């Protein structure tokens, strides 16, 4: 029950904070529903006017019982705002049972010591039986509404949801969803209708026990529940409990009604505010004290923005990694200043296999200092110059979503994306090693340059380098070119970058725009480097001749660089035709950056179009 305890504590912390409004954290015994029309009454319950609500105006806080908040096919009316099928006795083909249940419940509230004048005014109007007629005279039927995608849909008359305003002299707050006194009135009445009292496993006290736990956790239409305790009819748990059919809940882990309501409200708010979403999969991290924490699923650019210096992405000097580390440390220090080392931080993953059931797929509790250290480690070990587009060049770690798309393509299905994200979560939060198959998959896609658009390949290359660098962190690869690294794969990557640069310079001088031989043969080169290099080297002869006539100085420098790299091979490693590892991408990327600095202008910068 640790997760619900932490969420309950979060609610209590945030409810006292001025930074969190009551509209963001639902009060107990209340839910948010989309209203379609707003009916305005006077203090005596006489009809004044009605208007149709726009989509953005629709979400409304409404009073609810345990049964009505989780109703599906059962008859369980909300006490105040409701569908016409419950509150309009003059609705054609109306169901008398629904109307009688609605009126009886509202009547009981208004007859209690917790009654509120607005509730009484609404009850008077409902009993008059003219609601549907008043709406019909306003020509609101047939009712069409707009969904989030902008499409128009028709709402059956019986399903039209009504909210209320009661205008009273000297009172500025007329909406029932805005009146705190009315909200408190229903909360007090609902709590007085104590159904089952028992031991709350969260607070350790004897409280009203929650028997129907909230839904609508991940989104307004979410029917999945984290806790389901309504098994009194089918009695699936027969043989596991000894108490009676109507009393079995006492022998399971019982949770207080208020605790459950507050915990689910806090979780709902956290997901809407800072949760990672992928279809039904949701992952959210938060500090129990309500303080800001970095999102573990954001890329370095998304998380820290320009504070880490986008300009470093193309730097060819040797202090790129050091500069990034210093700026990352400074950015994390901003969170450390607000989050105490001993503050509790929770990371929680939710998903559902069926519409009605939801499960916790991942759960970790960490101290603030430990969580920030894990985030800093992830962004440090996965740091590499990234190119996500002209306006999105940065040094840092890609997001898990980007990693999944790089490993399996942009058209991967939701199940595979979910599985990949779940596998990466322990790498970020628990500090586990990067999955080897993801490293290999991103490497293969980065070498298949012909099969990708240029922008997509640039993005793929940076992510593949980041993952390989993280997986082999003990090798201490640098983001800048390492002239003293003489491993076979790294040197072959450098050779490919030099050959590509030489040909692209010659093509630019001639005014041609096409892929270089090195780019076309990159995938073949990764599998058979020695034999493929002979093909690439022979194809360079015409371009060398062109540069010798027009740019002799440039050719001399590139030929010297080629000779230096080839002579750096040890023993017979140059003639070894075994497949290359992802290390060759690091050598290729660093050599390419060294030959074409990010701040290059004019002729040098224009070579980007020929890669």
Q: How far apart are CA 86 and CA 101, in angstroms?
A: 8
User: Across-strand partners of 161?
Assistant: 83
Provide the terminal-to-terminal Cα distance of the chain, rounded to the nearest Å: 56
pLDDT of residue 248: 43
* pTM of the predicted structure, to 2 decimals: 0.86
Rg of the chain, C-alpha, whole Å: 32
Q: How far apart are CA 384 and CA 387, in angstroms?
A: 10
Residue spans of the domains in the chain: they are 1-22+194-274, 35-193, 277-480, 484-611
Q: CA nearest 25: which of 264, 188, 223, 358?
A: 264
Give DSSP secondary structure letters for 213-232: -----SSTT---BS-----T
Torsion angle of C-alpha atoms 59, 65, 66, 72, degrees rounded to 10: -60
Are 45 and 129 in contact by the 8 Å Cβ rule? The answer is: no
Compute the C-alpha angle 95/96/102, nearest 5°.
100
Are 327 and 383 in contact by the 8 Å Cβ rule? The answer is: no
Half-sphere exposure of 402 (CA within 13 A, CB side): 25
pLDDT of residue 16: 81
- Roughly what angle, to the nearest 10 degrees, separates helices 180-192 and 117-128? 80
pLDDT of residue 285: 95
- Within 8 A by CB and 6+ apart from 286, the residues are 10, 270, 274, 293, 345, 346
Q: How far apart are CA 120 and CA 128, in angstroms?
A: 13
Are 189 and 179 in contact by the 8 Å Cβ rule? The answer is: no
- Count of beta carbons in the 10 Å neighbourhood of residue 195: 12
Give DSSP secondary structure letters for 320-382: HHHHHHHHHHHHHHHHHHHS-TT-EEEEEEEEEEETTEEEEEEEEEEEHHHHHHHHHHHHHHT
Q: How far apart are CA 304 and CA 507, in angstroms?
A: 39
142: cis peptide before it, omega within 30°? yes
Sign of the torsion formed by the C-alpha atoms of 305, 311, 314 and 317: negative
pLDDT of residue 564: 95
pLDDT < 50 stretches in the chain? 244-246, 248, 309-318, 598-611
Give DSSP secondary structure letters for 259-306: HHHHHHHHHHHHHHHH-EEETTEEEEEEETT------TTS-HHHHHGG
pLDDT of residue 584: 97
Q: How far apart are CA 67 and CA 298, in angstroms?
A: 38
Tens digits of residue pLDDT in 243-284 = 544 454 556 678 888 999 999 999 999 999 999 998 889 999
What SS3 state is found at 197?
A: strand
DSSP summary character for residue 103 = H
Are 349 and 281 in contact by the 8 Å Cβ rule? The answer is: yes
Half-sphere exposure of 312 (CA within 13 A, CB side): 26
Q: How far apart are CA 288 and CA 8, in angstroms?
A: 9
- Count of beta carbons in the 10 Å neighbourhood of residue 320: 23
Q: CA nearest 210: which of 149, 264, 160?
A: 264
Q: CA nearest 565: which of 544, 607, 594?
A: 594
Beta strand pairing call for 206-208 and 59-63: unpaired
Q: How far is CA 360 from CA 212, 240, 328, 470, 555, in A?
A: 18, 23, 31, 28, 61
pLDDT of residue 278: 87
Tokens of 377: 């480690």
User: Across-strand partners of 278?
Assistant: 281
Are 587 and 489 in contact by the 8 Å Cβ rule? The answer is: yes
Greatest Cα pair distance, the chain, in angstroms, is 101
Q: How far is CA 501 from CA 203, 270, 478, 506, in A?
A: 68, 49, 21, 9
Q: How far apart are CA 105 and CA 76, in angstroms?
A: 10
pLDDT of residue 231: 54
């Amino acid at each position: 029950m640790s997760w619900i305890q932490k969420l309950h504590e979060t609610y209590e912390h945030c409810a006292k904070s001025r930074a969190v409004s009551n509209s963001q954290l639902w009060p107990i015994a209340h839910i948010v529903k989309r209203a379609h029309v707003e009916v305005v009454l006077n203090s005596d319950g006489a009809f004044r006017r009605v208007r149709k609500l726009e989509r953005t105006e629709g979400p409304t806080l409404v009073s609810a019982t345990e049964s009505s908040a989780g109703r599906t096919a059962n008859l369980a009316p909300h006490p105040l705002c409701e569908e016409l099928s419950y509150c309009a006795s003059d609705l054609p083909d109306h169901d008398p049972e629904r109307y009688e249940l609605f009126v009886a419940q509202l009547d009981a509230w208004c007859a209690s010591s917790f009654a509120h004048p607005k509730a009484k005014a609404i009850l008077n109007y409902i009993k008059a039986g003219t609601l549907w007629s008043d709406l019909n005279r306003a020509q609101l039927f047939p009712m069409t509404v707009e969904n989030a995608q902008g499409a128009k849909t028709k709402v059956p008359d019986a399903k039209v949801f009504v909210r209320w305003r009661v205008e009273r002299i000297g009172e500025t707050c007329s909406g029932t969803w805005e009146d705190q006194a009315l909200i408190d009135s229903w909360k007090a009445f609902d709590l007085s209708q104590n159904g089952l009292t028992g031991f709350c496993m969260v607070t350790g006290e004897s409280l009203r026990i929650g028997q129907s736990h909230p839904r609508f956790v991940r989104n307004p239409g979410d029917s999945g529940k984290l806790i389901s305790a309504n098994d009194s009819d089918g009695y699936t748990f027969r043989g596991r409990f000894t108490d009676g059919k109507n009393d079995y809940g006492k022998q399971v882990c019982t949770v207080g009604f208020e605790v459950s309501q507050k915990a689910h409200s806090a979780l709902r708010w956290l997901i809407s505010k800072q949760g990672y979403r992928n279809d039904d999969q949701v992952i959210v991290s938060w500090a129990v004290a309500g303080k800001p924490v970095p999102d573990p699923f954001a890329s370095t650019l998304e998380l820290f923005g320009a504070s880490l210096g986008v300009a470093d992405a193309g730097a060819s000097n040797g202090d790129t990694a050091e500069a990034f580390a210093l700026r990352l440390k400074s950015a994390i220090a901003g969170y450390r200043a607000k989050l105490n080392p001993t503050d509790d931080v929770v990371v929680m993953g939710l998903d559902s296999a069926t519409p009605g059931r939801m499960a916790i797929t991942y759960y970790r509790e960490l101290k603030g200092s430990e969580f920030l250290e894990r985030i800093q480690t992830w962004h440090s070990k996965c740091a590499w110059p990234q190119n996500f587009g002209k306006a999105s060049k940065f040094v840092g770690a890609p997001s898990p979503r980007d990693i999944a798309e790089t490993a399996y393509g942009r058209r991967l299905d939701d199940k595979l994306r979910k599985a990949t994200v779940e596998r990466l979560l322990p790498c970020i939060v628990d500090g586990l090693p990067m999955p080897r198959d993801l490293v290999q998959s991103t490497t293969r896609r980065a070498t298949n340059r012909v099969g990708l658009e240029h922008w997509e390949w640039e993005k793929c290359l940076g992510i593949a380098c980041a993952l390989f660098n993280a997986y082999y962190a003990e090798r201490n690869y640098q983001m800048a070119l390492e002239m003293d690294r003489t491993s076979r794969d790294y040197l072959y990557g450098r050779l490919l970058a030099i050959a590509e640069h030489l040909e692209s310079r010659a093509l630019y001088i001639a005014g041609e725009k096409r892929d270089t031989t090195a780019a076309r043969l990159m995938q073949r080169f990764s599998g058979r480097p020695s034999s493929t290099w002979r093909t690439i080297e022979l194809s360079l002869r015409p371009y060398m001749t062109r540069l010798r006539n027009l740019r002799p100085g440039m050719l001399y420098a590139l030929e010297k660089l080629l000779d230096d790299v080839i002579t750096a091979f040890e023993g017979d490693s140059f003639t070894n035709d075994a497949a290359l590892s992802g290390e060759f991408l690091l050598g290729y990327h660093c050599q390419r950056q060294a030959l074409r600095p990010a701040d290059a202008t004019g002729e040098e910068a224009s070579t980007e179009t020929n890669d």
